[in-house]
Amino acid sequence: MKNNMGSTDKIIRFIIAAIFVILYFTNTVTGTLGIVLLVLAGVFVLTSLVSFCPLYTLFGFSSCPVKPKE
């Protein structure tokens, strides 16, 4: 797996995941939508930790900074 996520992207995903978890555990969002948001939060955290997003690969996108060739 080649890294395709930059640090800003990872931070944004962690923040969104935290918001989803807070919404679920404060009973603001419940039921099926709450469970979907929890699963999505888990995916966001996992992809942030490994710095790889499969959807980015499908669309040919990368938020990693480009290193200059020497």
State pLDDT tens for residues 16-62: 999 999 999 999 999 999 999 999 999 999 999 998 888 888 888 88
pTM, full prediction: 0.83
Amino acid at 10: K
φ and ψ at residue 15, rounded to 5 degrees: -65, -45
Q: How far apart are CA 2 and CA 19, in angstroms?
A: 28
Euclidean distance between CA atoms 43 and 22, whole angstroms:
16
